[in-house]
Amino acid sequence: MTPTFRTLATVVAEAAKVATGFLQLRMTVRKVLTQCIGRRISFFKDVRPIVYCDHLQIKRGEVLIQSRKTPLPKSSTGIPGFDQITKGGLPEGRTTLVCGAAGCGKTLFAMEFLIHGALEHNEPGVFIAFEETAEDLAQNVASLGFDVNQLISKKKLAVDHVHIERSEIEETGEYDLDGLFVRLGYAIDSINAKRVVLDTLEALFSSLPNEGILRAELRRLFRWLKDRGVTAVITAERGEGTLTRHGLEEYVSDCVILLDHRVTDQLSTRRLRVVKYRGSSHGTNEYPFLIDEDGISVMPITSTSLQHTASNERVSTGIPALDGMLEGRGLFRGGSVLISGTAGTGKTSISASFARAVCQGGERCLYFAFEESQSQILRNMRSIGIDLQPSVNKGLLRFHAARPNAYGLEMHIATMLRVIEQFNPVAVVIDPLTNLVSIGSQSEVRDALLRLIDHLKLRQITGFFTSLTHDGSALESTDVGVSSLMDTWLLLRDIESNGERNRGLHILKSRGMAHSNQIREFHLSDQGVDLTEVYLGPGGVLTGAARQAQEAREQAEAVARAHEIDRRQRELERRRQALKAQIEALHATFEAEEEDMRRLIEQAEMRESVIKSDRNVMARLRGSGNNKAGENSYEKSSQSKDVKARKAGAKRSRR
C-alpha cells in the first residue's frame, strides 16, 4: 500500500495520544510541519515505549514520519525548454491556467500543447475557442508548419468555436455552464480526447459582475474537467494588479503559467514564469521565450546541472607557433576560448585561422559575425593568405551575419541555438560577443552567453569568442564579464615603442594544461598569422623596427665574431703547418745522422772482424809468444785508430 502524508491535525492528534501520561508537548505545531517530513525531530525526551501509528513511528527522543515519494504524473507540452523548467510538463489530469496580456502567446502555447500531444504522444485534444474561428486558428498555426485540418480529419484534434454575444448575456440566479459541459463532453467523447484547451475564459464571464456566481461556476468548471480526467489548459487575460481580470482563476488552478511581453529600449522580450505548481517542484525564475517560425521555445537561465564531459582530445588553433605555446598540442575539444584585445589587434584574423584549421580537418565550423558580412570577411582574410572560400564551397564553413540591433538578445541566442542544431558543427566562432551589450544589460548578456556556452559544452563543440576591449579599459577584463566561463583566454595588446605600434599576444590562462607565460609578437602577412619571440634585453622589450634593428646589430656582431674566429683559426693552422714542417725537417736530419752513425758502426764492426781474421792468420804463422806480443801491439794500434775515427764522426754530426 502506498504511504500517504498525514494532515497536520492527524499528526498532532496521534502525537498527543502517545504523549499522554509521559510528558507535555514541547514542540510547536509550526515546527512539526516544517521538520517532520523526512527528518528526525526531538519531540519527547523520555518516551520509552515504541508506538507505530500507520506511517508515524515514535521512538525515544524522536518522532519519525516515513513517506515514499510518488512523482506527480505529467503531460509533456513538446515546447523546447518548458518541459525542462517544469520537470516533465503540465500536471496530468489537472487544470493549468496560462495568463498574460494581449500578444504574449497564450493561444499559441495552448495550441502547441494540443498539437504536440497528438503528434508525439498520440493524445487527441479538443480546442474550444470563444474568440477565433476554427478557420482562423488553422491559418494562424499553418505558418508554423502545423496542419490542423489534417489532424481534425484523423480525429487527433477537434476545434469548436463557441460564439458568445455579450449583449445577449443576462445574469440570473440560474446561470450555469451546463450547456458548455454538454458541448465539451461531446467533443471529448467523439475523439477520446486526453487534452482540452479553453481559450479564453473571460469570454464566458465578461458580462457577469456577480462574484459569487463567478467563483461558483469557476470551481464547478475546474472540478468538471478534473472529473473527466483530461489535462486542461485555460487561457485568461491579465488584470490590473492581478494575474487575471477576475483574480479568481489562479486560486483554483493547479498550475499557473504567466506570460509577459515587455519592451525595453525599443527591443521586445517575452518572459515566462511558473507562478505555482501544486505537487511538483519547478523553476521559479523568469525565463525568456521566443515565438518564431518554429513556434515557442523557452530558454532556461542556466543549465540544470554541470555534467558535461570534458574531452582530452586536442584541436589546432591553425597557428603552429600558438599551438606550441599550448603544450605543442593546441586547445581541448569542447572547450571555450576567449580572445580579447583592442581594435586592430588581430582578433578576427586569429579566429579565421582557427576556422580554416577546423575545415581543413574535414569538420564543420559555424561563424557568427556581428560586424562584417560574409563577403567582407572572405575578402579581408584573403589579404593575409587565409582563403576561406573553398571551405564555404564544400559546405564545411557557414557564416551567419546579423547586426546586433536587428532583434533582441533572446532572439539572437535562440537563432544561434537553432542554427547550431541544424548545421551540427564541431566549432563555433562568435565575433565579437561584446556587440551584444548594446541590446541588453551586462547581466542579461552574461546569462544568455552562459546558456550558449553550456549548450556548446554539452555537445562537445569548441567555442571561439572574441571580445573588444575599449581604450582606457583594463586589458585583463571584458565588458560582458564572461572571462571566468572561459577555459582559455588569449590576450592581444599593442606594444608601443620607438614611434610605432606592434601586436603582442600572451596566454592569460588555459585550464588543464601547461602553457607559455611569454609575450609573443605576431605578424599579419600574405602568408597568414605568425608569431615571433620578442627581444628581451637590458633596455626592456623590443618589437617591430627596434627589434629588427637590434637583431641586425646582433647579426653584424655575430658575423664579425665569426670572421675573427675564422682568421684566428687560419693563423693557428698556418703556425701548425710551419711547426709541422720544422718537425719534419728535424726528423729528416735526425734520420740522416742516424744513418751515418749506423754506417760508421757497421764499418767499425767490419774492421774488427778483419782484424780478428788477420790476427788468427798471423798467429798460425808465428810462434805463440811472438804472436801474443804482436797481437797486443797490433790491437793497441787498432784501438787508437777507432777512437780517432769516432771523434771525427761526432764533429761532423755537430756541424
Q: Is the pLDDT of residue 91 over 60?
A: yes
Tell the burial category of 333 from Cβ atoms under 10 Å away from its Cβ (0-12, 13-18, 19+): middle
CATH number of 74-298: 3.40.50.300
Name residue 331's beta-bridge partners. 315
Q: Is the dihedral of CA 409, 413, 418, 422 positive or negative?
A: positive
**Per DSSP, what are the bridge partners of residue 507?**
490
Angstrom distances, CA of residue 647 to CA of 51, 640, 652: 141, 11, 9
Confidence class for position 544, pLDDT limits 50, 70, 90: low
pLDDT tens-digit readout, 210-228: 667 777 778 888 889 889 9
Predicted pLDDT of residue 70: 80
- Asked whether residue 40 carries a pLDDT value surpassing 50, the answer given is no
Query: Which CA distances in Å does 472 have to 173, 341, 342, 435, 468?
Result: 75, 12, 10, 18, 12
Specify the range with the lowest mean pLDDT, choosing from 21-25, 363-367, 557-561: 21-25
Supply the mean pLDDT for the chain: 78
User: At residue 57, does pLDDT exceed 70?
Assistant: no
pLDDT at position 152 over 50: yes
Give the phi and the psi of residue 195 in degrees, each rounded to 5.
Answer: -130, 145
Residue 406 region by backbone torsions, left for phi larger than 0, else alpha for psi between -120 and 50, else beta: alpha
Q: How far apart are CA 200 and CA 239, in angstroms?
A: 14
401: which strand partners? 369
Q: 285 or 76: which carries more pLDDT confidence?
A: 76
Amino acid at 536: L
What pLDDT, on the 0 to 100 scale, is given for residue 166? Answer: 57
Judged against a pLDDT cut of 60, whether residue 168 lies above it is answered with no
Helix (H, G, I), strand (E, B) or coil at 561: helix
pTM of the model as a whole: 0.64
What's residue 21's pLDDT?
Answer: 42
- Looking at per-residue pLDDT, the higher value among 602 and 304 belongs to 602
Q: Which residues pair with 37 in a beta bridge?
A: 65
Q: What CATH architecture applies to the domain 314-533?
A: 3-Layer(aba) Sandwich (3.40)
Q: Mean pLDDT across the stretch 295-312?
A: 73
Residue 271 has pLDDT above 90, yes or no: no
CATH 3.40.50.300 intervals, the chain: 74-298, 314-533
Is the pLDDT at 635 greater than 60? The verdict is no
Whole-number pLDDT of residue 548: 67
* Residues facing residue 332 across a β-bridge: 314
SS3 string of 255-267? Answer: EEEEEEEEEECCE
In this prediction, residue 463 carries a pLDDT of 93
Nearest-angstrom CA–CA distance, 517 and 531: 14
Q: How far is CA 358 from CA 210, 328, 459, in A?
A: 69, 17, 16
Q: Is the pLDDT of residue 23 over 50?
A: no
Question: Would you place residue 479 in the very low, low, confident or very high pLDDT band (cuts 50, 70, 90)?
Answer: low
Backbone angles phi, psi at 578, to 5 degrees: -65, -45
Cβ within 8 Å of residue 210, ≥6 positions away: 171
CB-side neighbour CA atoms (13 Å) of 410: 24
pLDDT of residue 462: 94
| pLDDT grade for 63, boundaries at 50, 70 and 90 | very low
pLDDT tier for residue 127 given thresholds of 50, 70 and 90 = very high
DSSP per-residue codes, 320-374: HHHHHHTTTT-EETT-EEEEEESTTSSHHHHHHHHHHHHHHTT--EEEEESSS-H
Three-state SS for 580-643 is HHHHHHHHHHHHHHHHHHHHHHHHHHHHHHHHHHHHHHHHHHCCHHHHHHHHHHHHHHHHHHHH
pLDDT at 49 over 50: no
Does 644 score more than 70 pLDDT?
Answer: no
Per-residue pLDDT, 125: 94
Which residue did the predictor score with more confidence, 231 or 33? Answer: 231
The predicted model gives 549-576 an average pLDDT of 84
DSSP 241: S
Q: Nearest-CA neighbor of 492 among 465, 516, 469?
A: 469
Band of residue 336 on the pLDDT scale cut at 50, 70, 90:
very high
Nearest to 496 by CA among 547, 552, 543: 543
H helices present in 192-280, as ranges: 202-205, 211-227, 249-252
Helix (H), strand (E), coil (C) string for 406-470: HCCHHHHHHHHHHHHHHHCCCEEEEECHHHHHHHCCHHHHHHHHHHHHHHHHHCCCEEEEEEECC
Contact 617, 557 (CB under 8 A): no
Per-residue pLDDT at 381: 92
Secondary structure class of 233 (helix, strand, coil): strand
pLDDT classification of 314: cutoffs 50, 70, 90: very high
Judge whether residue 365 has pLDDT over 50.
yes
Residue 476 near residue 467 (C-beta atoms within 8 A): no
pLDDT one-digit tens code per residue, 441-478 = 777 788 788 888 888 888 899 999 998 887 655 566 66
Q: Sorting pLDDT into bands at 50, 70 and 90, what band is 539?
A: low
